[in-house]
Amino acid sequence: MALDEKTYGELREIAGRYPEARSGLLPMLHLVQSAEGRVTPEGIQACAEILEITPAEVSGVATFYTMYKRRPVGDYHVGVCTNTLCAVMGGDEIFSRLKEHLDVGNDETSEDGKITLEHIECNAACDYAPVVMVNWEFMDNQTPESAVALVDDLRAGKEVTSTRGPRLCTWREAERVLAGFPDGRVHEGPAAGGPSLVGLGIASERGWTAPAGSGSTGQPLAGSPAEVAHKTDTSQEAEAAAVEEEAPTSTTAAEKKEAQ
């Protein structure tokens, strides 16, 4: 299927955002997926022409990152984290249950075209393990039962809201957002939950603050464990230097002979 003029125009718009046009390739590929439902040969060719690079270079990027798909994706991409912590907390069991429930394998789409299931690597949400992501929006603290209910709601067309984000849109709509075209939902839902902010609370209680000034001083936060360690290291270095300076010097026999 050929890309329409609107999509071509938006691809050019993305390329124009960057001093080096080829830096826009990643969002351009997301836009292709939004329009085509996958990275198509036509999409690869369009990106190559606009960026004045070869189709092989575009294809190399599109096949390197797992977020870019060469086969059609369902209305919703459901990713189950099976990395270490999520797996231990139940991610493997969730993935197995969903495969059985949807009758699909990894990176396959349900018969009704609604759900594409994939096991994914860490998405930096370990404090809410096990995590399932729908179109890259978090669904926290899942169980096999809640994950089955989640995909059933999606297949039934019910409105579902991320536990720490907006109402879920379709995969194609999410791809358009990743291409840099906002959908107006960015402020829906909490951006962070309690477990993610524990460190901030500790810093506040202990009076830890960031270094003053517009740039980083390279020094650890005042009063932090890192600062204590830094002071200890500095003191040890100074002590070692003092000992070395005070130590009596000795002249070897070879040095004496050479001096004579």
The whole-angstrom separation of Cα 146 and Cα 179 is 30
Residues 54, 102, single domain; the answer is no
Q: Compute the average pLDDT of residues 220-234.
A: 54
Residues 82, 164, single domain; the answer is yes
What is residue 117's three-state secondary structure? strand
Please give the structure tokens belonging to residue 140.
């926290």
Q: What is the CATH number of the domain that holds 155?
A: 3.40.30.10
Q: Compute the average pLDDT of residues 143-172.
A: 97
Is residue 93 a contact partner of residue 100, using CB atoms and an 8 Å limit? Answer: no
Chosen domain end from 151, 170, 189: 170
Q: Compute the average pLDDT of residues 169-176.
A: 98
What is residue 115's three-state secondary structure? strand
Long-range contacts of 166-169 (CB under 8 A, 24+ apart): 166/137, 168/76, 168/134, 168/135, 168/137, 169/135
Encode pLDDT of 79-117 as tens digits.
999 999 999 999 999 999 999 999 999 999 999 999 999
Give residue 244's pLDDT band: very low, low, confident or very high (50, 70, 90). low
pLDDT of residue 252: 54
Among 185, 175, 183, 184, residue whose Cα is nearest residue 31: 175
Chosen domain end from 111, 142, 170: 170
Encode pLDDT of 121-144 as tens digits.
998 899 999 999 999 999 999 999
Indicate whether 246 belongs to any domain. Answer: no
Among 108, 175, 99, residue whose Cα is nearest residue 136: 175
- Domain housing 22: 5-64
Q: Compute the average pLDDT of residues 217-245.
A: 56
Helices 55-64 and 41-51, axial angle in degrees (round to 10)? 120
pLDDT of residue 173: 98
Indicate whether 224 belongs to any domain. Answer: no
Among 27, 29, 8, 7, residue whose Cα is nearest residue 17: 27
Which residue, chain included where needed, has tokens 């009063």?
A: 223
Give residue 45's pLDDT band: very low, low, confident or very high (50, 70, 90). very high
Give residue 231's pLDDT band: very low, low, confident or very high (50, 70, 90). low
- Whether the predicted pLDDT of 219 surpasses 60: no
Encode pLDDT of 2-12 as tens digits.
789 999 999 99
Residues 44, 123, single domain; the answer is no
Give residue 58's pLDDT band: very low, low, confident or very high (50, 70, 90). very high
Is residue 82 a contact partner of residue 92, using CB atoms and an 8 Å limit? Answer: yes
Give residue 227's pLDDT band: very low, low, confident or very high (50, 70, 90). low
Give residue 245's pLDDT band: very low, low, confident or very high (50, 70, 90). low
Indicate whether 116 belongs to any domain. Answer: yes
Chosen domain end from 19, 39, 64: 64
Is beta strand 76-81 parallel, antiparallel or unpaired with respect to 115-120? parallel
- Considering the chain, what percentage of its residues have pLDDT values greater than 90? 70
pLDDT of residue 226: 53
The whole-angstrom separation of Cα 152 and Cα 154 is 5
User: How many domains are contained in the chain?
Assistant: 2
| Region label for 16, one of left (φ > 0), alpha (ψ between -120 and 50) or beta (otherwise) | alpha
Q: Compute the average pLDDT of residues 142-160.
A: 98
Return the bridge partners of 139, or none.
132
Residues 59, 80, single domain; the answer is no
